[in-house]
Amino acid sequence: MNEIAVEAAQRYAGPSVGSCCLVRNAITVGVWAVLAAGCSCQPELPSNSNDDDTTPEDTAVPQGLDTGPTPPCEVPEVEDNGSPSDANLLPMEVVGCGRLQETADFDYWETTVPADAWVRFAVVSRGLGAIADVHLLVLPDGGVAANREDDEGTTDASLLFPASADDYLITVSEQNFSGDEERFEYELVVSTSKAPLDWDRFEVEPNDDFAGALEVVAGEVLFGDMRGGIDNDWYKVDVPSGKHTLTVTVEAFAYGSAGNFSLWLYDQGQSLLPPGCDPDGCGAGQPNCVPCEVFGPPAGFARDPVLEYESLGSETLYWRVAEFESKFGEAYWYTMRVDVEGA
């Protein structure tokens, strides 16, 4: 179980039998006190009888007390929530839950982020023992949508990003459009969080082309994002004389970013590196082909790219960070570490 699934299982487990859940617009059950009626009698001599006290207990339920089944979570899904106009309200820091109960079922929720903050949107199904392959879509009222199909190592999904104060529409669906009354349950929670990584400084715009490349010092970690529409972020670093290895490490998707980033490397004459690389990528029939575009590890769910290049030194190297599908918005952030090490 991944970190998000463990967090959902430990922190947001449903209430135990007999407890009360807080549901939006529900009536709070009052506190009931059972008072024993007094009685009096004359003292009697001890009895030789071994008969037990068979006075029946009063098992009547106080009038008005809700004896129905305990809700499965704090905010259960209320059908029909199959359109944005019928979205269920989900306060922050509260667990919502639902079921993808039929083919192509889309459940809509909405929440309000009251102030700018790092916010996690998390939906868990496999982590609860269900089988839904959930898909998460988050749309701020004043921004652009971000989606997540799978976290690394699980088919559950979450997004973590520096969210603006706004109303957010959340869509939960099944990636394969499957659904059933059983085993397609999920839990959803929106909660504030802290930044998952540290950095030394922010990207400075405009750095959208080769001429505007932002100069980086070896050893720095920068924070950047793709908020400005279809974006490419350019950077450069000076390599000292002698052989050195340039390493550019992007961390984003593994920590909740929606971005699927790639890296492109250039020399001072704007030629792609390494020399002879293929800008169109490499197919199965090209065993000696070297792609110019650097992605994350090819296996599993990993997305974050690491670029390494052996330089002969005494040159300035340039690179750009791109979002593979040209997506953008506040959820498409990254941190980038730059290292230049001598041979």
| Cβ–Cβ under 8 Å, residues 165 and 113 | yes
What is the mean predicted confidence (pLDDT) over 155-167?
98
Is the per-residue pLDDT at 297 higher than 50? yes
Q: Rounded to two decimals, what is the model's pTM?
A: 0.79
pLDDT-wise least confident of 48-52, 133-137, 255-259, 269-273: 48-52
Does residue 162 register a pLDDT over 80? yes
CATH number of 201-342: 2.60.120.380
Question: What integer pLDDT is reported at residue 23 of this predicted model?
Answer: 31
Can you tell me whether residue 53 is helix, strand or coil?
coil
Name the pLDDT band for 67 (thresholds 50, 70, 90). Answer: low
Residue 207, C-beta contacts closer than 8 angstroms, at least 6 positions apart: 213, 214, 233, 234, 235
- CATH 2.60.120.380 domain position(s) in the chain: 3-10+70-192, 201-342
**Six token digits for residue 174:** 């099944």
Lowest mean pLDDT among 58-67, 109-118, 228-237, 295-304: 58-67
Helices (H), 65-219: none
Length of the chain equals 343
What is the Cβ-side half-sphere exposure of residue 184, based on CA atoms within 13 angstroms? 23
Q: What is the pLDDT of residue 2?
A: 43
pLDDT at 108: 98
Q: Taking 70 as the threshold, does the pLDDT of residue 343 lie above it?
A: yes
What is the residue-averaged pLDDT of the chain? 84
pLDDT score for 34: 29
Q: Classify burial at 202, counting beta carbons within 10 Å of its beta carbon; exposed 0-12, middle 13-18, buried 19 or more.
A: exposed
Q: Which residue has the higher pLDDT, 228 or 233?
A: 233
Per the CB < 8 A criterion, the answer to whether 127 and 9 are in contact is yes
pLDDT in tens, 113-128: 999 999 999 999 999 9
Residue 203 confidence class, pLDDT cut points 50, 70, 90: very high
Burial class (CB in 10 A: 0-12, 13-18, 19+), 284: exposed
Fold of 3-10+70-192: Jelly Rolls (2.60.120)
Report the share of the chain in percent with pLDDT over 90: 71
| Of 65-69, 124-128, 336-340, minimum mean pLDDT range | 65-69
Contact partners, residue 85, CB within 8 Å, separation at least 6: none
Query: Mind listing the pLDDT tens digit for each residue in 3-20?
Result: 444 444 344 334 333 333
Q: Which residue(s) pair with 163 in the sheet? A: 117
